[in-house]
Chain A
Amino acid sequence: MTLAARGLRYGFRDRVVGEEVDFALAPGEIACVLGPNGSGKTTLLRTLLGLLPALAGEVTLDGKPLHAWPTRERATRIAYVPQASESYFDFTLREAVEMGRTAHQGVFASTSARDREQAAHALERMGLAALAERPIQRMSGGERQLALIARALATEAPHLLMDEPAASLDFGNQALILEELSALRGAGTAVLFSTHHPDHALRIADRAILIKAGRAMASGPAGEVLNRENLSALYGRPIDVATVTSPDGTPRRVCVPLGTGHR
C-alpha cells in the first residue's frame, strides 16, 4: 500500500502549477506539504487524489497508475479532507459522516449496520459523538472541519490526504488532530497533509515536502528538511528552528519567526 509520485507535473490544462515532485508515502508514515499561500498545495493534493490528471510524470497507488483505478476502489484506499465543505441541504452530522461510507456500499444500497458503526466510531474519535444529530449548517467552522476529518476516518482508507486540516481549529483542537494523526500512523495509515504551521510538521511529520514557486525545493525526512535555511527560504522571512525541552525532559523542535518585530 504505497502512494507515490514520480516526476510529477501538476496543474490545469492551460497552466502548470508545479513540477518535479517526487515522493513515496508508505503505510504508517506522515508526510507534510508546506508552502506559501498560492504555491499550489491544494492543486497537488487534488492531483494525488486523482481529481486532476497529472500533466507529466505519474502518481501510482500500489504500483498501479492512479487513473487506472476505478473511482470506487480508489475511494476505499484514499480519503480526502477538503479545506471546507458547503452543502445547501441540512444534513445532520451523522448523515454527513455516513457519506464517508459511500464507496463501501453498492451503488443502489443504503447504509448498513457496519456503516453506521464505523461512522459512530469516527465521530467519537473526533469528540463529536454528542453532536451527531445536530444539523451541520448550525455548527461552527471548527466543528465542521472535525466533521470532515470524521467523514474521512469513516472511509477506513489506508491513505488520508488532508488539505490544511487545522486551518480553522482552535489551539486545543489542533493538538487533538495531531494526536489523532499520530494514532492513525500507529495503526498503519499513511497521512499526507498540507499546512501553514511548520510546527505541526516538526511535531509529527516523518517526511516533508517544501513547495515554492512551482518547484519542490526540498523533500525528505522532516528532521533534515525542516531547518532554519529551508524554512527561511520557503517563506522569504528569517525563521529560526529552536529546541525546547518539555517538562518530561524530551527535546522538541519549534519554529520561531525572527526579524525586527515591534518592541
Chain B
Amino acid sequence: MIVARRRFPLWLAIACAGLAVLVAWSFGVGRFPVSIADVWRALWAALTGGESGLPANVQAVVTQVRAPRVAGAIAVGAALAAAGAAYQGLFKNPLVSPDILGVTAGCALGAGIAILLSLPIGAIQALAFVGGLLAVGLVVAVSTWVGGRDPLLTLVLTGVVVGSLFGAGIALVKYVSDPYNQLPAITFWLLGSFTGALPRDLPATLAPIAVGLVPLILLRGRLDVLSLSEDEARSLGVNVTVVRLTVIVCATLITASAVALAGTIGWVGLVIPHAARLLVGAPFARVLPLSLLLGAAFMLAVDTICRTAFGTEVPPGVVTAFVGTPVFIALLAISFRRSA
C-alpha cells in the first residue's frame, strides 16, 4: 500500500479509462443493441446539429433514451460518492454515508412531498435539499446531545433513528398519494432508478451537484485537518464552525440532487470513498477526485447491468445494497477491533 499510494495519477488514469469503456459499453448494450460507431455518429450529430445518416429510431435510442440515462448514472454515482467522502471526513467516521446518516431519507421525504404536490423538478430539488438539511441537522443535534463513549456508533445509530423517522414520513406521503398514478411513481422512484432521467431534467440535477462540489474541492486541505480532533483542528488554524457548516451544506445539496433524480440509492457513498482511500491513501485532495470517478463508473456499471442482465429491469438500489452490506459489516468489524 505504501507504494500504491504514490500512484495517484496512475489510479486516476485507470479510473478515467475504465469510465470511458463503461460509457461506450452502456451506450451500446440493451434491448436495442447499437454499435460503437453508430453511437459515436449519433452523438456527434446531436452535438453538432448535423445529420448522422442513421435511422431515426437508432438516433432516438442513443440521444433520447441512453444519453440521459448514462449521464444520470454518472452524475448520481459521482455525487453520492463525493458526499460520502465529505461526510466521512467531516464526522471523522468511516461508517457514515448519506444513506446511513439519514440524509437520503430526509431528501426523499422532501422530494416525495414535492411529487405528491405535483411540483416541478426545481421544487423537488429544493424540498429534497431542505429535507436533507433537516435530517443531518437532527442527526448532529441528537448525537451531540446523547454523547456517549463511542461517538462512531452514536452517530450511526442516530442516523438510523432519524432515517426511520423520515422513512415514516415517506410512508405517510405514499399513504395519502393517489394510488393509481402517484403511488407507483413514488414507489418506483424510491427504489432508486434512472428510468426517470429525462433530458430536460438533467441540467437541474447537474447544476446543484457541480455547485456543491466546488467548495468541497477548494476546502480539500481543511477537510483533512477536520478529521483530527476539534482542538487540534482549531489550534492548527482551521475555523472549524465555518468549514463544517460549509461542508455539511454542500454534501447535503449534492445528495439532494442525486436523490431528486434517481431516488434513494444506498451504499455508494459508503463503499466508494473506502475503495478510493485504499488505493491512494487518506488525503481528501486525492480521495475526492478518485471517488467521483469510481462512483460514476460503479453506478454506471450497476445501472447497465440492471437494465440488461435480467428479463426485467432491476432497481439499481437493490444491487448496490448487495454490494454495500458486506462492506459495511467488514468496516464495522474493523472499527470495533480497533477501538477494543
Chain A interfacial positions (CB closer than 8 Å to B):
46, 49-51, 71-72, 74-76, 78-80, 82, 85-92, 95, 99-100, 102-103, 105, 107-111, 133-135, 155
Known contacts A95-B282, A102-B221, A89 near B227 by CB under 8 Å: yes
- Which residues in A have their C-beta under 8 angstroms from that of B282? 87, 89-92, 95
- Which residues in B have their C-beta under 8 angstroms from that of A49? 231, 235
- The DSSP consensus for interface residues of chain A is loop
Known contacts A88-B227, A89-B227, A108-B218, A102 near B281 by CB under 8 Å: no
B237 within 8 A of A: yes
Known contacts A80-B232, A102-B221, A105-B221, A92 near B5 by CB under 8 Å: yes
Whole-angstrom CA separation of A116 from B225 in the bound complex: 16
B221 touches A95 (CB 8 A): no
Bitwise interface map of B from 1 to 16 toward A, beta carbon under 8 Å scored 1, else 0? 1100110000000000
Whole-angstrom CA separation of A50 from B231 in the bound complex: 10
B237 touches A108 (CB 8 A): no
Chain B residue with minimal CB distance to A46? B231
Whole-angstrom CA separation of A23 from B239 in the bound complex: 28
B235 touches A51 (CB 8 A): yes
Chain B residue with minimal CB distance to A161? B235
Known contacts A87-B227, A108-B218, A133-B2, A102 near B92 by CB under 8 Å: no
- Given A80-B236, A102-B221, 20 more contacts at CB 8 Å? A46-B231, A49-B231, A49-B235, A50-B234, A51-B231, A71-B239, A72-B239, A79-B235, A87-B282, A89-B89, A89-B227, A89-B277, A90-B281, A90-B282, A91-B281, A91-B282, A102-B237, A108-B219, A110-B220, A135-B1
A75 touches B5 (CB 8 A): no
Whole-angstrom CA separation of A51 from B235 in the bound complex: 7
Whole-angstrom CA separation of A87 from B236 in the bound complex: 15
* Beta-carbon contacts under 8 Å, B204-224 to A: 218-222, 224
B228 touches A87 (CB 8 A): yes
Whole-angstrom CA separation of A95 from B224 in the bound complex: 9
| Chain A nearest CB, measured from B304 CB (Å) | 32
B318 within 8 A of A: no
Q: Which of A51, A80, A89, A90 gathers the greatest number of chain B CB atoms within 10 Å? A: A89
Chain A residue with minimal CB distance to B243? A107
- Which residues in A have their C-beta under 8 angstroms from that of B220? 110
Bitwise interface map of B from 246 to 257 toward A, beta carbon under 8 Å scored 1, else 0? 000000000000
A75 touches B237 (CB 8 A): yes
Chain B residue with minimal CB distance to A88? B94
- Which residues in B have their C-beta under 8 angstroms from that of A105? 221
- Which residues in A have their C-beta under 8 angstroms from that of B52? none
B34 within 8 A of A: no
| Chain A nearest CB, measured from B35 CB (Å) | 44
B229 touches A107 (CB 8 A): no
Whole-angstrom CA separation of A103 from B220 in the bound complex: 14
- Which residues in B have their C-beta under 8 angstroms from that of A135? 1-2, 281
Known contacts A71-B239, A89-B89, A99 near B228 by CB under 8 Å: yes
- Which residues in B have their C-beta under 8 angstroms from that of A82? 229, 231-232
Whole-angstrom CA separation of A76 from B224 in the bound complex: 18
Whole-angstrom CA separation of A155 from B236 in the bound complex: 8
B219 touches A100 (CB 8 A): no
- Which residues in A have their C-beta under 8 angstroms from that of B89? 89
Report 29 cross-chain contacts, Cβ distance below 8 Å, ordered by A residue.
A46-B231, A49-B231, A51-B234, A72-B237, A75-B236, A75-B237, A76-B237, A79-B235, A80-B232, A82-B232, A85-B229, A86-B229, A88-B92, A88-B227, A89-B94, A89-B227, A90-B277, A90-B281, A91-B281, A92-B5, A99-B228, A100-B236, A102-B221, A103-B236, A105-B221, A108-B219, A111-B221, A133-B2, A135-B1
Whole-angstrom CA separation of A75 from B222 in the bound complex: 14
Whole-angstrom CA separation of A46 from B235 in the bound complex: 9
- Which residues in B have their C-beta under 8 angstroms from that of A133? 2, 6
B235 touches A99 (CB 8 A): no
A107 touches B235 (CB 8 A): no
A102 touches B238 (CB 8 A): yes
| Chain B nearest CB, measured from A162 CB (Å) | 12
Q: Which of B2, B221, B229, B277 gathers the greatest number of chain A CB atoms within 10 Å? A: B221
- Which residues in B have their C-beta under 8 angstroms from that of A75? 234-237
A71 touches B238 (CB 8 A): yes
Q: Which of B238, B239, B281, B282 gathers the greatest number of chain A CB atoms within 10 Å? A: B282
Whole-angstrom CA separation of A64 from B35 in the bound complex: 72
Chain B residue with minimal CB distance to A75? B237
Chain B residue with minimal CB distance to A90? B282
- Which residues in A have their C-beta under 8 angstroms from that of B225? 99, 102
A110 touches B285 (CB 8 A): yes
- Which residues in B have their C-beta under 8 angstroms from that of A95? 224, 281-283
Whole-angstrom CA separation of A105 from B229 in the bound complex: 20
* Beta-carbon contacts under 8 Å, B263-308 to A: 277, 281-283, 285
